[in-house]
């Protein structure tokens, strides 16, 4: 979906950045006269010297307090955010002993597994006792334990693939698997808004990378046809293989992938499809099986299914699921399997327990209720935000919903004002989004109660009025509605 | 006859301008011919240059090309040789573990200080699990920073005597993120050819100019540095960032980098140095502070220091430390830091507990060193094998003395490893090398020593190895 910036917002955003850049450069100019410890020793180039460094010093440091806020509790529906103070104009921040109890609208805790759980935690602690926290060896060289095998069988069965392989980090799952499968003479056609881990993996593979317009299957088809017709650049030899990479839910847009149409295109043109379900697995679909289930796509049509355990399952790590041969091949090639320390056994057990709960294998309907709850909560919250007049991106059912801010000054304003009112929100700016498209991002969890959500909406509405975020006309007078509800 | 003809033509052409005087210059003839020639040249110049007609492919042709295109299979076929049986542990990977229901001596786990299952670590982790749950459910930027993360960063900095440190949630991703954060296109990286894949990946992703020196060969390093310096002097280019990248103890060979020499060279040629201390932290130095302590070099001389916590600290993840600038810059530029969920808080607690144990129990290091020396001595007596690596390295590589070819050696070594597990109840592994790995050092049997092993066990393990080697080689 193309974000169209309102004309006035675009103008003021450009103007704000203009002012920030001019002042930043002015300050840099005067800094040049002062001897500071930032000057590198004679004969050395400065350690960092590009745009990023300027951005950090002159833009990011001004609003640093809005990011990396430490917490002193589990990242559940309510969190204790540690307050910080600064002595040097926000350049460095220090913790205080004070905390603030805030509603958490930021963590990827879709199913509410972040905190202690009556079913999961005892099992995790049992595994801690039995297997300790680390194997100190890679999976291939003596670091495979019985729980790893159990998890892999369970994941494969859950996503509907014959086999699966797990890694200790979601980012590394992408960045080590893609180079294992693709190389010179291969083409990667990646969605223009794919996650940084996919970009790292694609670059690390040495394959040629092109992008197609975000979530537009028609453009993908056009790019694919042209690529097959042209062949490799310069030599014009046919491509060895073409891999299309998409995500289930785009984490910065909250949008669902148009998977059905994309599968049709990749099938027609014999390209392979790599689906990253980092945010969608466990969060959407009737039984939590992700985007395939939601859109009625046969998992057999997706060649490689990747996902992470960090979000819905409240653990860490990632998986690749595919055919038996694919997994066998990856086991012999993938650096994440051969060299990296195996996933920590208690974290493995957390995923196993969460999966069992989702599938109802614990003998209760808690899992099913969680799934229904996250969907209901998300749709309610999104609808209310929209009615309020905020510009909300993303599709129904997606628990991720960005609210557009645009102006750089609105990032700290929105964040700090919400924080003052005990609501912890995430504001996202460069480098995670394009410079102009700053946004706040709300992540809804099954752990939120209706009261929590109403409280959040009330605060967001109040702050949005204050910092002028209601770019859209309100659909109905949501405030009176909210008051009515609260009374 | 002919001359007459020419003369008449010339006279004819001369006629119009014969004896013309233009601006005081007498011109007699040929002007007309020249004018015609100029006109012809102008005419030709004004013509469009030759271009073959461009005909874009029609939709039908593209359809046909798409129809004809046959992609390669998703992955190459899996051969018998690639398939490998990995042992499945049925209990913790401590000095003793269970494989196939049998208790075995574990020489495969890099549990150097024997901290796997340490009660203090367990206690700390359990408390954290009860308080914070398992995962952090978000990246560091977005409420994924738990107080224990900050505690661990401070603890590492205090332990290594650096200003600050930054955590990564995966050891392998540490260098792969830290190197590209500082080096971009045009910068120069000089690395050892034996560095592990995580570093190789970082070198590649940085897009910098990468030069490799022969494994642990300081003369070759110096010649490369000299070469870079000569080139710079000749071209008078603007200064670029220049790094030497080494591992303290090489994961691929067990050799130790002569850090004193590296530091001398880096200062002489004005390079910065990145040292990966994954296998030396908690191993080298009197108090386990790594290679800088071993060589008695102040830690500030190392510009960037990285390490994975999945070895001596018996946890997971990795960290990078150095000056405040080095750490701060990565908080926005380290891809594996910004864009990945943070390390589970209980693993951070585990690492804190591990560092405290190292601080409180210096005898662990004494035990480890004694075990390494004992085991190396025992192994040296096996005549059929070559023992490689530094005398203090807890990673020990064993190669066949009578090597045939790398591929057949691996098979023999694998047989030895299998026999060790089946008959002698000792878990050892053959180091694996991915086809993506550019490291060309030979693969061998890899044994790791832990402080938790007893000397008797190590003596017995060496004797077992002797028996297995002889029995396998006899059957060749």
Q: Tell whether A200 and A291 lie within a shared domain.
A: yes
**Is there a contact between B316 and A79 if contact means CB atoms under 8 Å apart?**
no
Closest residue in B to A57 (Cα) is B329
Query: Domain residue spans in chain B?
Result: 2-46, 96-106+362-474, 119-360
- Can you spell out the DSSP letters for B128-141? HHHHH-S---SBII
Predicted confidence (pLDDT) at residue A326 exceeds the cutoff of 70:
yes
Which of A36-40, A466-470, B362-366 reaches the highest mean pLDDT? Answer: B362-366
pLDDT of residue A475: 64
In the 8-state DSSP scheme, what is residue A179?
Answer: H
**Is there a contact between B344 and A316 if contact means CB atoms under 8 Å apart?**
yes
Residues of A within 8 A of B130 (CB-CB) are 116, 121, 125
Q: Tell whether A276 and A330 lie within a shared domain.
A: yes
Cβ–Cβ contact A67 with B under 8 A: yes
Q: Tell whether A93 and A181 lie within a shared domain.
A: no
Count Cα neighbours of B326 within 13 Å in the Cβ-side half-sphere: 24
Percent of chain B with pLDDT over 70: 96
Task: Provide the pLDDT confidence category of residue B250 given band limits of 50, 70 and 90.
Answer: very high
Selected residues 60-89 of chain B with any CB under 8 Å from a CB in chain A: 61-62, 65-66, 69-78, 82-84, 86-89
pLDDT digits (tens, 9 = 90+) for B49-92: 777 777 888 888 889 988 899 999 999 998 887 777 889 999 99
Selected residues 160-189 of chain A with any CB under 8 Å from a CB in chain B: 168-172, 175-176, 179-181
Residue range A24-32: average pLDDT? 84
- Is A199 contained in some domain? yes
- Of the candidate ranges A189-193, A401-405, A473-477, the one whose mean pLDDT is the lowest: A473-477
Cβ–Cβ contact A324 with B under 8 A: no
- Is A1 contained in some domain? no
Q: Tell whether A339 and A393 lie within a shared domain.
A: no
pLDDT digits (tens, 9 = 90+) for B181-203: 999 888 999 999 999 999 999 99
- Pick the residue of B83, B133, B421 with the most A CBs within 10 A to test the interface with A by mutation: B133
Task: Provide the pLDDT confidence category of residue A91 given band limits of 50, 70 and 90.
Answer: confident
Predicted confidence (pLDDT) at residue A169 exceeds the cutoff of 80:
yes
Predicted confidence (pLDDT) at residue B349 exceeds the cutoff of 70:
yes
Q: Tell whether A173 and A208 lie within a shared domain.
A: yes
3-state SS class at B289: coil
pLDDT digits (tens, 9 = 90+) for B141-184: 999 999 999 999 999 999 999 999 999 999 999 999 999 999 98
Q: Tell whether A325 and A379 lie within a shared domain.
A: no
Angle (CA) A447-A450-A451 rounded to 5° is 105
Residues of B within 8 A of A47 (CB-CB) are 182, 241, 272, 303, 325-326, 329
ipTM: 0.92
pLDDT digits (tens, 9 = 90+) for A56-72: 888 888 898 999 999 99
- Global pTM? 0.90
**Is there a contact between A314 and B134 if contact means CB atoms under 8 Å apart?**
yes
Residue A293's domain is classified under what CATH number?
3.40.640.10
- Is A365 contained in some domain? no
A1–chain B nearest CA distance, Å: 22
pLDDT of residue B50: 74
pLDDT of residue A35: 63
Residue range A168-195: average pLDDT? 93
**Could you say which of B94, B329, B436 has the minimum Cβ distance to residue A47?**
B329
Q: Tell whether A158 and A250 lie within a shared domain.
A: yes
Residue range B317-335: average pLDDT? 92
Residue A37's domain is classified under what CATH number?
3.90.1150.10
Selected residues 244-283 of chain B with any CB under 8 Å from a CB in chain A: 251, 270, 272
Cβ–Cβ contact B56 with A under 8 A: no
Cβ–Cβ contact B387 with A under 8 A: no
pLDDT digits (tens, 9 = 90+) for B255-286: 999 999 999 999 999 999 999 999 999 999 99
Q: Could you tell me which of A351, A291, A307, A324 has the C-alpha nearest to residue A177?
A: A307
Percent of chain B with pLDDT over 90: 72
Residue range A176-184: average pLDDT? 93
- Pick the residue of A134, A167, A335, A342 with the most B CBs within 10 A to test the interface with B by mutation: A134
- A vs B, Cβ pairs < 8 A, gives 379
- Of the candidate ranges A475-479, B97-101, B303-307, the one whose mean pLDDT is the lowest: A475-479
Predicted confidence (pLDDT) at residue A1 exceeds the cutoff of 50:
no
pLDDT of residue A134: 94
**Could you say which of A44, A225, A314 has the minimum Cβ distance to residue B270?**
A44
Percent of chain A with pLDDT over 90: 74
CA B122 → CA B118, B209, B349, B360, B380, distances in Å? 6, 45, 9, 17, 37
B412 sits in which H/E element: helix B406-424
pLDDT of residue A265: 95
- Of the candidate ranges A31-35, A384-388, B249-253, the one whose mean pLDDT is the lowest: A31-35
Q: Tell whether A168 and A250 lie within a shared domain.
A: yes
CATH 3.40.50.2300 fits B119-360, yes or no: no
Q: Same fold for the domain at B96-106+362-474 and the one at B119-360?
A: no
Can you tell me the distance from the alpha carbon of B94 to that of B374, in angstroms, rounded to the nearest whole number? 20
pLDDT of residue B15: 63
Domain enclosing residue A434, as ranges? 7-104+370-486
Residues of A within 8 A of B87 (CB-CB) are 142, 144
pLDDT digits (tens, 9 = 90+) for A247-278: 999 988 899 999 999 999 999 999 999 999 99
Q: Tell whether A316 and A202 lie within a shared domain.
A: yes
Cβ–Cβ contact A481 with B under 8 A: no
- Is A111 contained in some domain? no
Residue range A207-233: average pLDDT? 93
| B292: its two tokens | 């800088």
What order of strands is seen across the sheet that includes strand B102-106? B96-99, B102-106, B426-427
Closest residue in B to A200 (Cα) is B205
3-state SS class at A406: strand
**Is there a contact between A172 and B91 if contact means CB atoms under 8 Å apart?**
no
- Is A305 contained in some domain? yes
Q: Tell whether A297 and A378 lie within a shared domain.
A: no
The better pLDDT of the pair A244, B435 is held by A244
**Is there a contact between A316 and B75 if contact means CB atoms under 8 Å apart?**
no
Residue showing tokens 């790590």: A317
Residue range A358-378: average pLDDT? 92
- Is A466 contained in some domain? yes
Predicted confidence (pLDDT) at residue B17 exceeds the cutoff of 70:
no
Percent of chain A with pLDDT over 70: 95
Main-chain dihedrals φ then ψ at residue B16, nearest 5 degrees: -65, -30
Residues of B within 8 A of A330 (CB-CB) are 75
Q: Tell whether A296 and A376 lie within a shared domain.
A: no
Q: Tell whether A129 and A276 lie within a shared domain.
A: yes
Predicted confidence (pLDDT) at residue B207 exceeds the cutoff of 60:
yes
Cβ–Cβ contact A484 with B under 8 A: no
* Average pLDDT of every residue of chain A: 90
Predicted confidence (pLDDT) at residue A39 exceeds the cutoff of 80:
no
The total number of structural domains in chain A stands at: 2
Sequence-ordered list of residues with C-beta below 8 angstroms from that of A208, at least 6 positions apart, any chain: A186, A187, A188, A232, A233
Cβ–Cβ contact A145 with B under 8 A: yes
B374 sits in which H/E element: helix B362-380
**Class assignment of domain B96-106+362-474?**
alpha beta
**Is there a contact between B93 and A131 if contact means CB atoms under 8 Å apart?**
yes
Task: Provide the pLDDT confidence category of residue A362 given band limits of 50, 70 and 90.
Answer: confident
Predicted confidence (pLDDT) at residue A129 exceeds the cutoff of 80:
yes
């Amino acid at each position: 979906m193309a974000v169209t910036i309102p004309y006035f917002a675009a103008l003021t955003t450009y103007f704000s950045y203009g002012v920030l850049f001019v002042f930043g450069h002015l300050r840099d100019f005067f800094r040049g006269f002062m001897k500071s410890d930032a000057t590198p020793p004679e004969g050395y180039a400065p350690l960092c010297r590009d745009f990023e460094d300027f951005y950090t010093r002159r833009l990011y440091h001004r609003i640093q307090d809005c990011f990396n806020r430490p917490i002193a509790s589990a990242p559940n529906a309510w969190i204790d955010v540690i307050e910080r103070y600064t002595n040097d104009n926000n350049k460095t921040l220090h913790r205080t002993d004070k905390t603030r109890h805030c509603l958490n609208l930021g963590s990827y805790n879709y199913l509410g597994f972040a905190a202690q759980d009556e079913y999961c935690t005892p099992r995790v602690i049992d595994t801690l006792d039995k297997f300790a926290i680390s194997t100190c060896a890679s999976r291939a060289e003596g670091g495979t334990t019985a729980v790893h095998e159990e998890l892999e069988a369970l994941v494969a069965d859950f996503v509907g693939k014959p086999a699966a392989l797990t890694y200790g980090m979601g980012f590394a799952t992408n960045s080590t698997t893609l180079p294992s499968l693709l190389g010179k003479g291969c083409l990667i056609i990646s969605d223009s808004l794919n996650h940084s881990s996919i970009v790292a993996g694609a670059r690390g593979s040495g394959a040629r990378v092109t992008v197609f317009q975000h979530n537009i299957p028609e453009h993908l088809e056009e790019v694919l046809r042209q690529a097959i017709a042209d062949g490799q650049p310069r030599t014009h030899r046919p491509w060895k293989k073409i891999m299309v990479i998409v995500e289930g839910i785009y984490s910065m847009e909250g949008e669902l992938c148009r998977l059905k149409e994309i599968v049709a295109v990749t099938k027609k043109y014999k390209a392979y499809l790599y689906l990253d379900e980092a945010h969608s697995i466990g969060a959407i679909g009737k039984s939590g099986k992700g985007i395939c289930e939601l859109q009625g796509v046969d998992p057999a049509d997706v060649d490689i299914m990747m996902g992470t355990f960090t979000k819905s399952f409240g653990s860490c790590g990632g998986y690749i699921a595919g055919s038996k041969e694919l997994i066998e091949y990856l086991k012999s090639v993938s650096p994440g399997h051969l060299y990296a320390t195996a996933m920590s056994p208690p974290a493995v057990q957390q995923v196993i327990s969460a999966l069992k709960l989702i599938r109802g294998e614990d003998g209760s309907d808690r899992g099913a209720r969680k799934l229904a709850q996250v969907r209901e909560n998300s749709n309610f919250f999104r609808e209310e935000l929209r009615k309020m007049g905020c510009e909300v991106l993303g599709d129904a059912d997606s628990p991720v919903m960005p609210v557009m801010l645009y102006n750089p000054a609105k990032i700290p304003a929105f964040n700090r004002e919400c924080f003052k009112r005990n609501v912890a929100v995430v504001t996202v700016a460069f480098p995670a989004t394009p410079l102009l498209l700053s946004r706040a991002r709300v992540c809804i969890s099954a752990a939120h109660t209706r009261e929590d959500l109403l409280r959040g909406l009330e605060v967001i509405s109040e702050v949005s009025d204050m910092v002028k975020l209601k770019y859209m006309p309100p659909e109905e007078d949501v405030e009176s509605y909210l008051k009515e509800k609260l009374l | 006859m002919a001359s007459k003809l020419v003369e008449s033509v010339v006279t004819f052409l001369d006629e119009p301008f014969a004896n013309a005087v233009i601006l005081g210059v007498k011109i007699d003839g040929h002007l007309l011919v020249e004018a015609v020639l100029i006109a012809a040249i102008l005419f030709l110049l004004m013509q469009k240059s030759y271009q073959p007609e461009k005909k874009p492919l029609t939709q039908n042709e593209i359809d046909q090309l798409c129809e004809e295109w046959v992609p390669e299979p998703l992955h190459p076929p899996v051969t018998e040789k690639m398939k490998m049986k990995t042992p499945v542990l049925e209990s913790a990977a401590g000095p003793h573990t269970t494989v196939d229901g049998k208790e075995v001596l574990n020489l495969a786990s890099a549990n150097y200080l024997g901290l796997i299952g340490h009660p203090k670590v367990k206690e700390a982790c359990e408390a954290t699990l009860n308080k914070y749950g398992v995962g952090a459910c978000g990246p560091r930027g977005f409420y994924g920073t738990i107080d224990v993360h900050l505690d661990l960063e401070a603890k590492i900095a205090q332990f290594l005597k650096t200003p600050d440190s930054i955590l990564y949630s995966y050891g392998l991703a540490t260098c792969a993120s830290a190197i590209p954060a500082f080096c971009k296109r045009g910068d120069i990286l000089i690395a050892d050819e034996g560095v592990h894949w995580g570093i190789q990946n970082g070198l590649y992703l940085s897009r910098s100019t990468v030069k490799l020196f022969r494994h642990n060969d300081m003369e070759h390093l110096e010649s490369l540095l000299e070469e870079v310096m000569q080139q710079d002097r000749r071209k008078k280019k603007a200064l670029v960032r220049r790094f030497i990248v080494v591992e303290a103890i090489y994961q691929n060979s067990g050799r130790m980098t002569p850090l004193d020499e590296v530091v001398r060279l880096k200062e002489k040629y004005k390079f910065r140095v990145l040292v990966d201390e994954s296998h030396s932290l908690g191993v080298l130095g009197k108090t386990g502070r790594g290679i800088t302590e071993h060589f008695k070099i102040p830690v500030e001389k190392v510009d960037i220091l990285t390490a994975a916590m999945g070895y001596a600290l018996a946890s997971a993840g990795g960290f990078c430390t150095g000056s405040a600038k080095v750490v701060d810059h990565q908080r926005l530029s380290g891809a594996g830091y910004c864009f990945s969920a943070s390390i589970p808080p209980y693993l951070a607690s585990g690492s804190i507990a591990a560092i405290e144990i190292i601080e409180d129990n210096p005898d662990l290091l004494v035990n480890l060193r004694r075990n390494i020396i004992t085991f190396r001595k025992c192994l040296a007596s096996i005549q059929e094998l070559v023992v490689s690596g530094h005398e203090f390295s807890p990673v020990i590589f064993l190669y066949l003395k009578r090597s045939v070819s790398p591929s057949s050696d691996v098979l023999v070594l694998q047989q030895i490893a299998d026999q060790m597990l089946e008959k002698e109840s000792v878990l050892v592994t053959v180091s694996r090398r991915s086809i993506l790995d550019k490291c060309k050092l030979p693969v061998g049997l890899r044994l790791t020593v832990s402080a938790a092993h007893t000397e008797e066990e190590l003596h017995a393990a060496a004797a077992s190895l002797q028996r297995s080697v002889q029995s396998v080689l006899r059957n060749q």
